[in-house]
């Protein structure tokens, strides 16, 4: 066996080569950038090694704003979108007529361009001198006042961002959950029915545990995806996210690299490492929790 | 609990809308006495599982009535019928332990029937002892053998003391040895609880060995109802005769002429009162007697010695199946080198059927 080992390595070489260049090397490079103080991009020089970049980023009000936005976004959209997707897929599998039509409709947002969707949301929510937008018309109908969703108070903008994010991530979750639900053996439901199990108990005690691996997968990827949110905010509020108070961590990293205040790869790297640590922590917590509640 | 089915019919719409409906269960009339073990028997697709689902309430009949005792339960929803069901794949909840699985039906009880945790646990252990799994209560179903899973499924169906116990192919997922063991076990449990039990199977041996009564079905129609031995000894038609018994009955093309039954050229038996006609002759494997002067002469193909008895495999030009399998006592000596073997037939093991309808011709 030992003599043939080199062959195995040879087969793995192409994959390892590309992984090394495009994954491992950049990761290490980012880590190095983040500890090089006073790095000058033009001359490729730096003054010393230390934690100054981290200290700067963590004191930067723009970063703190982005951190806050990202956390709110994650904490609202992940549970809400997963729960909603669960409800919709449970509804979808329990109806027979028009099911395929509904499935198609629910899946449409997934194949629609993010920026195009952003444009539609702008039309729905934006207040212009000519119109208050569709959302406000609905509000007026129910006797509410006008709210400027796009340029108004912070919570209104956050609402639009969360609404939009949920709407965008929903189709994929519905797709995964519908197939998970459909794969649960009908005889479990029959057995439960014969025993006179109420519908809600069937859902909590049988359906949910049965599809828990899929739900767990969606929660993990949902967390990671929401933490890396950026294009959604851009689609709604344009590229100057700091001004709109709607920046995200990834948005902050991008700004540090290429934005108006760009040219600070060290700060960007430090922020990226912080994001990495946050996602790692959350994922570890998820894995720990899942040990108890996920049944493979 | 006595179970009565009156004109029970279930039709399914055909996939191809222009075709007529599929009649899975066609005009069932059975009266099942209290406390008996009944086997619904038939080949795949004959509607026996549909019949079971109608009884349990998972399917609604197209027409007809179902009575449990004196109660008409036809339109009663499944949860109010008080039936226990063992599914073919057991349908044990994989994420729950054995104990949680057994308790599950009890936790659904509401109102006056509601039980405390201790009562539930007590009941679960009681029924687990009955099926002998009380030492496995904390395991998950995946940690059990097939036979043990089966017992858990039975325990779960029994725990709320159902009026009727239904089992869908209860032994089909077990290996041969376990099947033998488990069917005795089912018999024992049924005897002990005295619950009217109806089970579905396509294995005639299974049905014959443990049922008090068997119902033989074909294409949604009941062919014959009766005690296993009665049905075996006295089949009403060719299908029932062919379906019951291993090895199966041997069929020949024959002809009745002037009160004599001919298979090929040889007249094998006197049959008075049967008009002249072509017939199908069925002979049970145990209906052959080795006899030098026997009328039926077959080409000897082989001899299988099983210890207790011998299976003689032979061929005959008028046989409908390729081989004739006859079972004779091992006290007989068969010359395995011989080309031909002569049989006499036992009169009570020979049946005549009409060629076109398969209906039995009595003689």
What is the average pLDDT across B66-73? 90
- The answer for B 57-116 residues in CB contact with A (under 8 A) is 57-58, 78-80, 83-85, 87-89, 91, 93-95, 104-105, 107-109
Dist. CA A227–CA B302, nearest whole Å: 77
- Supply the range of the domain harboring residue B292: 250-361
The shortest CB-CB distance from A197 to any of B58, B89, B108 is to: B108
Handedness of CA B140, A292, B120, B84 (dihedral sign): negative
A262 pLDDT band, cuts 50/70/90, is low
Set of chain B residues whose Cβ sits within 8 Å of the Cβ of A191: 85, 87, 91, 156
Burial A187-204 (b: 16+ CB within 10 A, else e): bbbbbbbbbbbeeebbee
CB B294 within 8 A of CB B352: no
Set of chain B residues whose Cβ sits within 8 Å of the Cβ of A212: 95
Separation in Å, CA of A93 to nearest CA in chain B: 18
Residues B184, B102, single domain; the answer is: yes
- DSSP, collapsed to helix, strand or coil, labels residue A51 as coil
Residues B150, B134, single domain; the answer is: yes
Residues B218, B261, single domain; the answer is: no
Closest chain A residue to B103, measured at CA:
A195
pLDDT at A131 over 80: no
What is the average pLDDT across A13-28? 93
Report CB contact under 8 Å: A188, B93: yes
pLDDT in tens, A49-96: 888 889 999 999 999 999 999 999 999 999 999 999 999 999 888 888
Q: Count CB atoms within 10 A of the CB of residue B243.
A: 24
Dist. CA B142–CA B92, nearest whole Å: 9
Separation in Å, CA of B211 to nearest CA in chain A: 24
pLDDT at A261 over 70: no
Number of domains present in the structure of chain B: 2
Return the CATH number at B41: 3.40.50.300
B238 pLDDT band, cuts 50/70/90, is very high
What is the average pLDDT across B211-215? 93
Closest chain B residue to A189, measured at CA:
B91
Residues B334, B219, single domain; the answer is: no
Residues found in chain A: 296
* Nearest alpha-carbon partner for B298 in B354, B363, B252: B252
Torsion angle (degrees, nearest 10) of CA A119, A124, A129, A132:
-170
Helix (H) or strand (E) holding B275: none
Q: What is the ipTM of this complex?
A: 0.80
- DSSP, collapsed to helix, strand or coil, labels residue B50 as helix
* Nearest alpha-carbon partner for B248 in B317, B323, B310: B323
pLDDT for residue A139: 82
Residues B278, B136, single domain; the answer is: no
Residues B258, B213, single domain; the answer is: no
pLDDT for residue B278: 92
Q: What's the 3-state SS for A203-260?
A: HHHHHHHHCHHHHHHHHHHHHHHHHCCCHHHHHHHCCCHHHHCCCCHHHHHHHHHHCC
| Mean pLDDT lowest among A3-7, A204-208, B36-40, B315-319 | A3-7
Report CB contact under 8 Å: A187, B79: no
pLDDT in tens, B277-295: 999 999 999 999 888 888 8
Residues B201, B331, single domain; the answer is: no
pLDDT at B62 over 60: yes
Set of chain A residues whose Cβ sits within 8 Å of the Cβ of B13: none
pLDDT for residue A1: 52
Domain end position, chosen among B223, B243, B263: B243
Dist. CA B157–CA B166, nearest whole Å: 9
A196 pLDDT band, cuts 50/70/90, is confident
Q: What is the largest CA-CA distance in chain A?
A: 80
pLDDT in tens, B144-197: 988 889 889 999 999 988 999 999 988 888 888 888 888 888 899 899 889 999
Residues B172, B63, single domain; the answer is: yes
Question: Which positions in chain A have a beta carbon within 8 angstroms of at least one beta carbon in chain B?
Answer: 185, 187-188, 190-198, 201, 205-206, 209-210, 212, 295
Separation in Å, CA of B204 to nearest CA in chain A: 25
| CATH architecture of the domain covering A61-293 | Orthogonal Bundle (1.10)
Residues found in chain B: 363
Report CB contact under 8 Å: A209, B78: no
Separation in Å, CA of A236 to nearest CA in chain B: 44
Residues B115, B61, single domain; the answer is: yes
Q: State the average pLDDT for chain B.
A: 89
pLDDT at A130 over 80: no
Helix (H) or strand (E) holding A37: strand A36-37
Set of chain B residues whose Cβ sits within 8 Å of the Cβ of A201: 107-108
Separation in Å, CA of A85 to nearest CA in chain B: 23
DSSP string, B288-316: EEE-TT-SEEEEEEEEEE-SSEEEEEEE-
Residues B207, B284, single domain; the answer is: no
Backbone phi, then psi, for B200, in 5-degree steps?
A: -110, 140
pLDDT for residue B269: 87
Set of chain A residues whose Cβ sits within 8 Å of the Cβ of B58: 190, 193-194
What is the average pLDDT across A138-160? 82
Dist. CA A293–CA B194, nearest whole Å: 40
Dist. CA B184–CA B203, nearest whole Å: 15
Residues B56, B192, single domain; the answer is: yes
Set of chain B residues whose Cβ sits within 8 Å of the Cβ of A187: 87-89, 91
Rama region for B123: left / alpha / beta (φ>0; ψ in -120 to 50; rest): alpha
3-state DSSP percent of chain B in helix, strand and coil, to 5: 25, 35, 40
What is the average pLDDT across B223-232? 93
pTM over 0.90: no
What is the average pLDDT across B65-81? 89
pLDDT in tens, B301-324: 888 887 788 889 999 988 998 899
In chain A, what are the domain boundaries?
Answer: 61-293
Report CB contact under 8 Å: A194, B78: yes
Give the distance from CA B4 to its chain's centroid. Answer: 19
Domain end position, chosen among B181, B211, B243: B243
Helix (H) or strand (E) holding A101: helix A99-107
pLDDT for residue A237: 85
pLDDT at B20 over 90: no
Set of chain B residues whose Cβ sits within 8 Å of the Cβ of A185: 89, 91
Separation in Å, CA of A186 to nearest CA in chain B: 9
| Mean pLDDT lowest among A38-42, B44-48, B352-356 | A38-42
Dist. CA A268–CA B125, nearest whole Å: 63
């Amino acid at each position: 066996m030992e003599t043939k080992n080199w062959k195995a390595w040879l087969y793995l070489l192409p994959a390892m080569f590309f992984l090394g260049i495009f994954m491992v090397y950049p990761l290490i490079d980012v880590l190095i950038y983040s500890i090089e103080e006073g790095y000058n991009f033009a001359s490729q020089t730096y003054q010393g090694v230390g934690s100054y970049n981290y200290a700067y980023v963590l004191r930067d009000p723009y970063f703190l704003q982005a951190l806050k936005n990202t956390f709110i976004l994650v904490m609202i959209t992940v549970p809400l979108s997963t729960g909603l997707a669960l409800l919709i897929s449970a509804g979808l599998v329990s109806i027979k007529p028009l099911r395929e039509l509904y499935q198609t409709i629910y899946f449409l947002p997934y194949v629609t361009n993010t920026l195009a969707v952003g444009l539609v949301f702008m039309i729905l929510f934006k207040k212009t001198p000519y119109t208050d937008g569709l959302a406000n018309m609905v509000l007026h109908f129910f006797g509410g006042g006008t709210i400027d969703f796009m340029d108004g108070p912070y919570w209104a903008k956050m609402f639009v961002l969360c609404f939009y994010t949920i709407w965008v991530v929903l189709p994929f979750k519905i797709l995964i959950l519908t197939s998970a639900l459909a794969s649960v053996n009908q005889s479990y439901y029959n057995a439960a029915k014969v025993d006179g199990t109420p519908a809600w108990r069937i859902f909590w005690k049988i359906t949910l545990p049965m599809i828990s691996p899929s739900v767990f997968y969606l929660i993990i990827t949902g967390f990671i995806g929401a933490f890396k949110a950026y294009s959604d905010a851009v689609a709604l509020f344009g590229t100057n996210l700091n001004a709109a108070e709607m920046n995200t961590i990834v948005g902050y990293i991008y700004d540090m690299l290429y934005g108006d205040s760009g040219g600070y790869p060290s700060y960007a790297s430090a922020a990226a490492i912080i994001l990495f640590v946050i996602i790692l922590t959350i994922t570890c917590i998820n894995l720990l929790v899942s040990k108890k509640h996920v049944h493979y | 609990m006595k179970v009565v089915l009156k004109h029970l019919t279930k039709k399914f719409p055909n996939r191809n809308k222009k075709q007529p409906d599929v009649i899975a269960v066609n005009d069932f009339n059975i009266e099942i006495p209290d406390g008996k073990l009944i086997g619904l028997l038939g080949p795949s697709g004959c509607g026996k599982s549909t019949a079971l689902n109608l009884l349990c309430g998972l399917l609604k009949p197209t027409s007809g009535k179902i009575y449990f005792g004196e109660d008409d339960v036809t339109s009663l929803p499944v949860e109010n019928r008080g039936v226990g069901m063992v599914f073919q794949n057991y349908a044990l909840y994989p994420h729950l332990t054995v104990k949680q699985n057994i308790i599950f039906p009890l936790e659904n009880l509401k109102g006056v029937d509601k039980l405390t945790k201790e009562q539930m646990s007590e009941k679960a252990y009681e029924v687990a002892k009955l099926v002998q799994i009380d030492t496995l209560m904390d395991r998950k179903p995946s940690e059990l053998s097939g036979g043990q899973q089966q017992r858990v499924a039975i325990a779960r169906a029994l725990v709320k003391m159902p009026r009727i116990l239904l089992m869908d192919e209860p032994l089909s997922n077990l290996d041969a040895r376990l099947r033998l063991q488990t069917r005795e076990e089912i018999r024992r449990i049924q005897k002990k609880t005295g619950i009217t039990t109806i089970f579905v199977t396509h294995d005639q041996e299974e049905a014959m060995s443990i049922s008090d009564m068997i119902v033989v079905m074909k294409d949604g129609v009941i062919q014959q109802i009766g005690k296993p031995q009665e049905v075996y000894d006295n089949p009403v038609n060719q299908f029932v005769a062919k379906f019951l018994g291993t090895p199966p009955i041997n069929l020949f093309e024959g002809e009745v002429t002037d009160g004599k039954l001919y298979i090929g050229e040889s007249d094998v038996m006197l049959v008075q009162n049967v008009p002249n006609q072509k017939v199908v002759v069925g002979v049970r494997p145990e209906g052959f007697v080795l006899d030098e002067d026997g009328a039926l002469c077959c080409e000897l193909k082989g001899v299988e010695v099983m210890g207790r008895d011998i299976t003689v495999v032979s061929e005959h030009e008028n046989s409908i199946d390729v081989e004739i399998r006859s079972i004779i006592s091992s006290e007989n000596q068969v010359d395995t080198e011989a080309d031909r073997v002569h049989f006499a037939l036992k009169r009570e093991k020979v049946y005549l059927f009409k060629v076109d309808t398969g209906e039995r011709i009595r003689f």
